[in-house]
Amino acid sequence: MNRFEWIATAAFGLEGVVSRELSRMGIDAKAENGGARFIGTLEDAMRANLYLRSADRVLLVMGRFEARSFEELFEGVRALPWEHFITEHTRFPVNGKCARSQLMSVRDCQSITKKAIVERLKSKYHTDWFQEDAETVSIDVALHGNIAQLTLDASGVALNRRGYRTWNGEAPLRETLAAALVDLSPWRPGMPLHDPMCGTGTLLIEAAMRMAHRAPGLTRSFAIESWHEMPSHEFSALREQAQAEFNPQLVEGISGSDIDPQAIELAKRHLQQAGLAGRVTFTVADARTCQREEPQGVFLCNPPYGERLSDRKSCEALYHDMGLLLRRHPGWSLSAITSHPGFERCFGRRADKKRRFYNGRLECEFMTFGKPHAASKR
């Protein structure tokens, strides 16, 4: 069984999370800037697409070589076995990027890469004309320090597009980041989890999907499934296995509340579209008066950041109330992501644990206060 080199791309700060996810699948991976690299079969890549919760995409590394001239780039690209993945009808757009390379024209690099692939396919398919009227295989050429790396996008639409979130509220949290925050929080399946400002429910739905053993990519397709010479029977078997593992009845103890009734309605719709209708409790309530009966648990939330000056004072007052919320629940912990530099001051204490991420273009910190009793991991 052939093995290839792959990269599971990830946002800044999430590379280690993705590497650990792959390790839990039995795939040996190494975290690096921008993702996690691993060696695996086509079936391993399909599993990664299906099951990875925090990665953005899965890329096949076609080749990596030195390219100090356009001629070296052309010959290096032409030497790669494109015919294993591209037919004479495949549409294959080429994207490019260059950094600290002698070949600084991205457009020229894209054009030369496309031409080299066409020349390779001409010799393999014995034709001078390609219709490009079938499936799409997206190709990236990246030059960094005069080293060219060619990759194929095995995911297609980005992996955060699970398919359950078709309505967005204000300041939505990307699904992949939400899944990472769930993983990095003190919460584990079997512990109570509550989001007192849940918005449209992304954090809690990602937690419920994990608890239900629902593969994030269960109801969507991936680019790798349409590549030339793919093991479609094995891919179908992987999907059937993922479907058999999904058990909504496993979800319990997850709840959320928000002061906005419309947001709660959207959260319930998203939950239903994730196949988990009724498994998470959503209620309309003010976070400032939130009160839980369970002796231990985890509060996990994405509070407003107060980016606009007019909102800052109200956000700082909310952060103060979040500190009071935790003090009312001495057996609980609270984890929150924020870009506000004075969050700890407003909250009333220093965080026990901090980690830096980007939420979109905003540099944020994920802070955890308190340490609840943890259940065993699943």
For residue range 328-338, list pLDDT tens digits in order. Answer: 999 999 999 99
Task: Give the C-alpha separation, 121 to 53, whole Å.
Answer: 36
What confidence score (pLDDT) does residue 305 get?
86
Run of H or E residues at 323: helix 309-328
Is 307's pLDDT higher than 90? no
Compute the residue count for the chain: 378
241-262 pLDDT, tens digit per residue, is 999 999 999 999 999 999 999 9
Which helix (H) or strand (E) segment is 150 a member of?
strand 147-153
The helix (run of H) or strand (run of E) holding residue 255 is strand 254-258
Using DSSP, state whether 128 is helix, strand or coil. Answer: coil
Per the CB < 8 A criterion, the answer to whether 69 and 108 are in contact is no
Q: Residues 341-365: what's their mean pLDDT? A: 94
- Percent of the residues in the chain that have a pLDDT greater than 90, as a whole number: 87
**373 — pLDDT class (breaks 50, 70, 90):** low
Distances, alpha carbon 299 to alpha carbons 174, 204, 256, 322, in Å = 19, 11, 9, 10
Residues contacting 325, CB < 8 A, separation 6+: 196, 287, 288, 290, 299, 334
**Percent of the chain beyond pLDDT 70?**
96
Query: Rounded CA gap, 314 and 316, in Å?
Result: 5
Q: Reading across the β-sheet that carries 353-359, which strands appear in turn? A: 281-284, 254-258, 193-195, 297-301, 332-338, 362-369, 353-359
Residue 374 above 50 pLDDT? no
Burial label, 115 (beta-carbon count in 10 A; 0-12, 13-18, 19+): middle
Compute, in degrees rounded to 10, the torsion defined by CA atoms 216, 218, 222, 225. 140
Distance CA 305, CA 359 (A): 11
| Model pLDDT, residue 16 | 96
This prediction's pTM: 0.93
Residue 306 confidence (pLDDT)? 74
| pLDDT for 64 | 97
The whole-angstrom separation of Cα 316 and Cα 206 is 27
CA distance readout (Å), 266 to 199, 200, 216, 269, 296: 8, 5, 19, 5, 28
Q: Mean of the per-residue pLDDT values for the chain? A: 94
Helices and strands, counts by H and E, the chain: 10, 14
pLDDT at 134: 84
Q: Are the CB atoms for 176 and 56 separated by under 8 Å?
A: yes
Q: How confident is the model at residue 234 (pLDDT cuts 50, 70, 90)?
A: very high
Ramachandran angles phi, psi of 347, nearest 5° = -65, -35
